[in-house]
Amino acid sequence: MQLIRQHKTWLNNLLVPVLSIVFGFIFGAILMVAFGYNPIIAYDAMISGVFASPYFIGEALRQATALTFTGLGFALAFKAGFFNIGIAGQALVGWVSAIWFALSFPDLPRILLVTLSLGVGAIIGALWASIAGFLRAYFGTSEVIVTIMLNYTALQLTNFLIRDVLSESGNTTESVGENASLSIGWLSTLTQSSRLNLGFFIAMAVVILYWIFMTRTTAGFEIRAVGLNPHASTYAGMSAEKNIILSMFLSGALAGLGGAIHGLGTFGNIFTQGGLPDIGFNGIAVALLGLSNPIGIFFSSILFGVLDIGAGFMPNRAGVPDEMADIVTSAIIFFVGANYIIRYFVDKRAAKKEAASSTKGGDV
Amino acid sequence: MNALDIIQLIVSSSLIYAAPLILTALGGTFSERSGVVNIGLEGIMVMGAFMSAVFNIQFAAAFGGWTPWIGLIAGGLIGVLFSIIHAVATINLRADHIISGTVINLAAPAIGVFLTRAIFGAAQTGPLPESFGRTNIFLLDRIPIIGPIFFENTSGPAYFGIILAVVAWFVLFKTRFGLRLRSVGEHPHAAETLGIKVYVMKYSGVLLSGLLGGMGGAIQAQAISNEFGILTIAGQGFIAMAAMIFGKWNPLGVMGAAIFFGFAQSLARIGTYIPIIQDIPAIWLLVMPYLLTILVLVGVIGRAEAPARLGTTYIKSR
Amino acid sequence: MPMSQSVIEMKGITKEFGTFRANDNIHLDLRKGEIHALLGENGAGKSTLMNILSGLLEPTSGEIKVNGNSVKISSPDVANELGIGMVHQHFMLVDKFTVTENIMLGREKSKFGYIDKKSAEKEIKELSDHYGLKVEPSSKVENITVGMQQRVEILKTLYRGADILIFDEPTGVLTPQEIEELMGIMRKLTDEGKSIILITHKLDEIKQVSNRCTVIRRGKSIDTVDVSITTQQELADMMVGRSVTFKVNKKPADPKETVLKVEQLTVKESRGYDAVKEISFEVKAGEILGIAGVDGNGQSELIQALSGLTKSSSGKVHLAGTDITNKKPRKITEAGLGHIPEDRQKYGLILPMTLEENISLQTYYQKPYSNHGFLNYKEIKVHAKRLIEEFDVRTPSEEHTAASLSGGNQQKAIIAREVDRDPALLIAAQPTRGLDVGAIEYIHKRLIELRDNGKAVLLMSYELDEVMNVSDRIAVMYDGKIIAIVNANETNESELGLLMAGVPIAEAKKKSDGKGKEKDAVDSTT
């Protein structure tokens, strides 16, 4: 009985994201119909476009790679009770610092240069996020506002670095050398020279490490405890300050690593940005849809990766602007965020069933 | 340039850049005073900018010089419509305010550009036929010295924003509506026991933020960018939030902060003409609003006092 | 005064929340000009009933008559119209607003929406003077005393023309003097023709001020009695449903070496003033020291400082020979402190976590529960299962969340965790708050057992009975100071009551003489 009930809550938990995805796609379809597009052709173009060719599967997984990191980053802080809205900025500083490092030491051996470049990206992202963690821990400053402000600071700072430090008033940096490349020969061949790279395997490893860290270590236990009840955790001798800063540090490290892998793996350089990189806020979406569970985040990333790459097929094949994919994404997250309505109906149905079965029981 | 020209340039360009911020930040003030965090201001501005651009292009022939002002209203209305999503999600569906705001910010550029493509077949609208341009404020521009500095060749929308700020201050602190709105942000349960419709007040706050945020976006599109595209609104909504905090949720303070941030933004663009400022690296001017806001929050520049129940969902007793 | 006319009749009121019946066929009849007490334990359904009467909740079934007319109170507005006003237990006041703004909120005098503050202030001043409430209309609520805040609540109802006032547990936060004052105000109100419902679980207040009393137990109305011809014991029996034994059986204490030594401790409150003022005391092994006092006299701050949750500004604390002054909570725990916190759901447990995780909350980082930073769930589970068995925590399994347990079982889990670590000193703050009689007896027994095993126990409670019955010595706190420490078997309720009201020990002795037996103060720090 016990097992069945726990199984049931697990199913119910899964129900929210699955129904949200369904509702999100339905919402997109309604919008398309309203503007005279055919949603079936559009969704078909999106999905068959990606899955018809190894190249686009590779590209979708490449996009998913970056989202897995930013998603895990957001989730870690979220578990500790904080909204790290600054994922985008942390990814951006991770990106620019990894490129900067790779450009500065082009002659290091590949294994060293790749490791160090990614490491630098992670550390800079971590330190950037730690500013918000530090202010929250010692001044009680809202991490939401601080990370928002740091996002735009990061954006301006990055563009400044690209123009004034990494290039001569240009809008892009040089490309990094071969030794900083993340590409893997057989993987590129397999996916018909897509930009899918080593980062994908690092992402899978990090998903597992994240799970072990959160559920099996004392540090993860403390982060979860502080997130669920900071008062009781402090009383039990955990340091709220330490855990706030640690969780923001790790969250920023994941985002920075994601940015570094995105930069080295996808582009090999950095260029001035008009706005914050999409992988930031989409990473938040991924974490919310994945309910902050690492496996959930991994699969959400793949879904969003497919949506993102598949969107490119919609204008030509269905005449639908590719922004449709982003609209579907935001609709999905709306339903996840407002899951009260889904839970309300699920609980109501469950209550009805229970009431029905208990009256039956009463008759006997 | 002589000193008067320089001052005139600084004042007028500060006001031009401040205008969208003033309105949007006032919008945020109403929302947050009712207890609803609205980080979706950015998205609401995007929708307002989009709507006003479409309106401007479609109806410029019909309304001539009045087009941007009516476009302002169109932008405000779409902002209201869009903010309803945030209101329903946070007030009725108990969604987290930050998540809902993030959804708004994700959705707005997507919807705006989607519709732009659907209507114009391109990601940008192209230049708008009737922009706000620069105006002289009637009669005031004739005052010696002050007139040319503040009221000649200046931003009409900014003065509209300044008047609105005074009105907003009066409404919040001197009227029944304002008292009730603030009570809901401070202690919704107390308000409910006194027969105040908590949800109605929260809706008013959020919808007002939609109206003003949408108008802010409309000003940005019709006075600064002069078109709508994905980059028309690039962080102004968040700077407006910063102004709201820097102004401590008081409309007059908020207006002051918005003008100051407009000044900072304009300096980054016109600073090269101005002695002293031209020696400050532009990067500092660009990041100043963000860093100042953090300093205010940390308490280095006085304490920022947010409404007591900001960001919490209120569940009716019944 | 004629007291026959009924102003409110509640008949057969039932309120269901899902499958739970908070009110089950309750009857209540309030007559004009009377103070009618509504007596019941925590969770008996008093607040639900009054929320129905004030329009915050709608009953599932039943009838309400106001002045003889059947009414449907669908909102607080309707309750207002009917002249019903509620003085809430947790004040419904906006701290940042002025008294006037708070009172007029929802009933603002305005012209085209513009508020006429002047005339509202004038009217409030008049009302305040008429009832002797001494309220300053232009002060901000955050700057006035708790007693005055309560009078603002009363004014709120009067301003709305209430004739029927409901007082929900009004004395919990007041000093004895303020309670006296409040009683006077209530009498004055009834003299003016108002009728009052007084929700309380304090028998002496009922005896002191009310005319009749309706007793509620587990959602049902038990009886309505005339207070003047009913004893406190009878009321208590009706409230709990069986004869209450006010005495706890225990052997005399056998105090040994000093375990906790507090010297000249001063603790600042969050707003910066001294909440604890140069306190000194000791707790010895094998004794229970009780801390008595009205809520808000520095007890919480004292305990937070002892357990390391807040820092003290001066003074020294030694625990089992170790200096623990301003040490981190974990250092203090490791020095030998067990702590049952005042608010168990906020500080004692992480409700969404499992019971086994909660039971390991103080020890998870130690062997064998973890090794090199990795948790050992096998050991954690074995440990949890043993404690659940030993302390009789009723739960389907150790993998259930702490939230799924009843209050009593949550408290047992905390006690299990704290006692099992074999601490030299156990601090129990409000250990039985909100629990049923069975759980209370169990916890008292455990505390005394601990004492008999040679541990030191520091018990803080706002319930005077609990302090008197469980402790060996009693320290009375008033205004941040310990104004006296007395032996539990040499004092009485009357003397403690006077001490809690700030009356110096010598005077308290004199005043309470003849009411109790002869007593000797053992120790006085002032």
Distance from CA of C413 to the nearest CA of A (A): 14
User: B267: exposed, middle or buried (C-beta count within 10 Å: 0-12, 13-18, 19+)?
Assistant: buried
- Inspect the interface and report whether the beta carbons of C51 and B317 lie closer than 8 Å: yes
Beta strands C212-217 and C274-284: pairing type? unpaired
Q: How far is B70 from chain A (nearest CA, A)?
A: 25
Size of interface B-C (CB pairs under 8 A): 70
User: pLDDT tens, C262-310?
Assistant: 999 999 876 667 889 999 999 999 999 999 987 778 899 999 999 998 9
Per-residue pLDDT, C43:
66
Find the residue in A nearest to B117 (Cα).
A321
Whether pLDDT at C1 is above 50:
no
Mutation target to probe the A interface, by most A beta carbons within 10 A, among B41, B102, B245, B301 is: B102
**CATH for B3-300?**
1.10.3470
Residue C350 and residue A229: Cβ atoms within 8 Å? yes
pLDDT at residue C4 in the model: 65
Residue pair B52/B217 in contact (Cβ under 8 Å)? The answer is yes
Q: What is the C-alpha separation between B222 and B53, in angstroms, rounded? A: 7
CB pairs under 8 A between A and B: 129
- pLDDT of B93 over the 50 cut: yes
| Cis status of the peptide bond prior to C368, with omega within 30 of 0 | yes
CB spacing of B176 vs C101 below 8 angstroms: no
Of C442 and B165, more confident: B165
Cα separation, B186 vs B178, in Å, equals 12
Task: Give the contacts of C172 (CB within 8 A, at least 6 positions apart).
Answer: C89, C295, C462
CA triplet C65, C68, C70: central angle to 5 degrees?
A: 40
Chain-chain contact of C97 with B196 (C-beta, under 8 angstroms):
no
Query: What 3-state DSSP class applies to B285?
Result: helix
User: In this complex, do B235 and A274 lie within 8 Å of one another by their Cβ atoms?
Assistant: no
Q: What is the pLDDT of residues B278-290, one digit of tens each?
A: 777 888 888 888 8
Residues of A in contact with B106 (CB under 8 A): 281-282, 285, 326, 329-330, 333
Rounded CA gap, C240 and C217, in Å? Answer: 7
The tens digit of pLDDT for each residue in C469-518 reads 899 999 999 888 999 999 988 888 778 877 876 777 777 777 666 444 43
Tell me the C-alpha distance between C416 and B217, whole Å: 60
Q: Tell me the three state secondary structure of residue A141.
A: coil
| pLDDT attached to residue A360 | 38
pLDDT of residue B302: 62
* Residue in B closest to C160 by C-alpha: B194
Contact A329 B106 (CB under 8 A): yes
pLDDT reported for residue C414: 95
**Neighbouring subunits of A (3+ Cβ pairs under 8 A):** B, C
Cβ-nearest to C309 among A216, A225, A235: A235
Which of A2, A216, A228 has the CB atom closest to C352's CB atom?
Answer: A228
d(CA A61, CA A265) in angstroms, rounded, equals: 12
In tens, the pLDDT along A294-316 reads: 999 999 999 999 999 999 999 99
Instruction: Kindly list the domain boundaries of chain B, sorted by start residue.
Output: 3-300
Q: Quick one: DSSP state of residue C473?
A: E
b/e code C35-69 from CB counts within 10 Å (16+ = b): bbbbbbbeebbbbbbbbbbbbbbebeebebebeee
Interfacial A residues in 200-239 facing C (CB < 8 Å): 216-219, 221, 224-225, 228-229, 231-239
**Average pLDDT of every residue of chain B:** 90
Contact check, Cβ <8 Å, C92/B193? yes
Arithmetic mean of pLDDT, B153-172: 93
Alpha-carbon distance A32 to nearest alpha carbon in chain B (angstroms): 10
- Helix segments in C161-231, DSSP class H: 176-191, 203-209
pLDDT at position C525: 37
Q: CA–CA separation, C446 vs C420, rounded Å?
A: 12
Of B96, B117, B235, the CB nearest to A321: B117
Give A287 to chain C, closest Cα distance, Å: 20
Are C265 and C298 in contact by the 8 Å Cβ rule? The answer is: no
pLDDT of residue C523: 41
CB contact under 8 A, A231 and C329: no
> How many Cβ pairs within 8 Å bridge chains A and C?
61
> Tens digits of per-residue pLDDT, A106-163?
999 999 999 999 999 999 999 999 999 999 999 988 898 899 999 999 999 999 999 9
- Other residues' Cβ atoms within 10 Å of the Cβ of residue A54: 15
B259 contacts B165 by C-beta, under 8 angstroms: no
End-to-end CA distance of chain C: 48
Contacting partners of chain B (3+ CB pairs under 8 A): A, C
Chain B environment of A35 (Cβ under 8 Å): 115, 118
Task: Check if the beta carbon of residue A273 is closer than 8 Å to that of residue A92.
Answer: yes
Interface list for B 163-182 with C (CB within 8 A): 174-177, 179-180, 182
Whether A249 contacts A223, CB under 8 Å: no
pLDDT at C513: 60
Round the average pLDDT of chain A to a whole number and report it: 90
Per CB-CB distance under 8 Å, the chain C contacts of A225 are 350, 353, 357, 361
At A305 the pLDDT is 96
Q: Which of C329, C370, C397 faces A237 most closely, judged by CB atoms? A: C329
Partners of C105 on chain B (C-beta within 8 Å) are 179-180, 183, 190-191, 194, 196
Taking the Cβ of residue A25 and every Cβ of chain B, the question of whether any pair is shorter than 8 Å is answered with no
CB atoms inside a 10 Å sphere around CB A258: 35
115-154 in chain B: CB under 8 A from chain C: none
Percent of chain A past pLDDT 70, that is, above it, reads: 92
CB B171 within 8 A of CB B179: no
Contact predicate A139/A259, CB 8 Å: no
Instruction: Report CB contact under 8 Å: C156, B194.
Output: yes
Q: Mark yes or no for CB contact C365/A218 under 8 Å.
A: yes
**Residue pLDDT, tens place only, A170-203:** 899 999 988 889 988 899 899 898 999 999 999 9
Q: What is the pLDDT of residue C238?
A: 80
**Average pLDDT for A342-355:** 68
ipTM of the complex: 0.87
- pLDDT tens-digit readout, C3-46: 468 999 999 999 988 777 889 999 999 999 999 999 887 667 88
Residue of B312, B4, B268 whose CA lies nearest to B148? B4
- Is some CB atom of chain C closer than 8 A to the CB atom of B190? yes
Closest in C51, C54, C108 to B179, CB measured: C108
Per-residue CA distances from B120 to A317, B30, B173, C244 (Å): 19, 35, 45, 82
Report the gap between the CA of C364 and the closest CA in chain A (Å): 7
Q: CB–CB of A302/A60 below 8 Å?
A: yes
Strand-strand pairing, C220-226 and C212-217: antiparallel
- Over chain C, what is the mean pLDDT? 87
Are the beta carbons of A340 and B95 separated by less than 8 Å? yes
d(CA B9, CA B155): 12
pLDDT band at A1 (very low <50, low <70, confident <90, very high): very low
- The total of other beta-carbon atoms located within 10 Å of residue A333's CB is 27
Q: What is the pLDDT of residues C181-221, one digit of tens each?
A: 899 999 999 999 999 999 887 777 888 899 999 998 888 99
Task: Say which of B175, B182, B190 has its CB closest to residue C92.
Answer: B190
* One-letter amino acid of A221: F
C333: which chain A residues are within 8 Å (Cβ-Cβ)? 237
Q: Is B292 left (phi over 0), alpha (psi -120 to 50) or beta?
A: alpha
pLDDT at C386: 95
Tokens 């007395």 label which residue?
A: C486
Instruction: Give me the residue from C94, C115, C156 closest to B186, CB to CB.
Output: C94
**So what's the pLDDT on residue B251?**
97
Six-digit token string for A295:
């496996």
Interface test mutation site (partner A, options B37, B106, B246, max chain A beta carbons within 10 A)? B106
Q: Hey, are the CB atoms on C115 and B186 less than 8 Å from each other?
A: no
In chain A, residues with a C-beta closer than 8 Å to the C-beta of B238 are 148-149, 151-152
Q: Which two tokens stand for residue C367?
A: 């062997």
pLDDT at residue A98 above 90?
Answer: yes
pLDDT exceeds cutoff 90 at A346: no
* Residue C237 pLDDT: 75
Average pLDDT value for residue range B236-241: 93
A222 at B interface, C-beta within 8 A:
no
* pLDDT surpassing 70 at residue C246: no
Distance CA B168, CA B251 (A): 6
Spatial distance between the Cα atoms of A187 and A180, rounded to a whole number of angstroms: 17
- The answer to whether the Cβ–Cβ distance between B298 and A139 falls below 8 Å is yes
Closest CA to C105 of B170, B87, B201, B32: B201
Nearest-angstrom CA–CA distance, C84 and C493: 36
* Beta carbons within 8 Å of B252's beta carbon, 6+ residues apart: B165, B166, B169
- CB contact A55 to B (< 8 Å): no
User: Which residues 6+ apart lie within 8 Å of C123 measured at CB?
Assistant: C159
Range with the poorest average pLDDT among C114-118, C211-215, C248-252, C318-322: C248-252
Q: Look up residue A344 and give its two tokens.
A: 């309300």
Say yes or no to pLDDT of A6 above 70. Answer: no
Q: Are strands C288-292 and C473-478 parallel, antiparallel or unpaired?
A: parallel
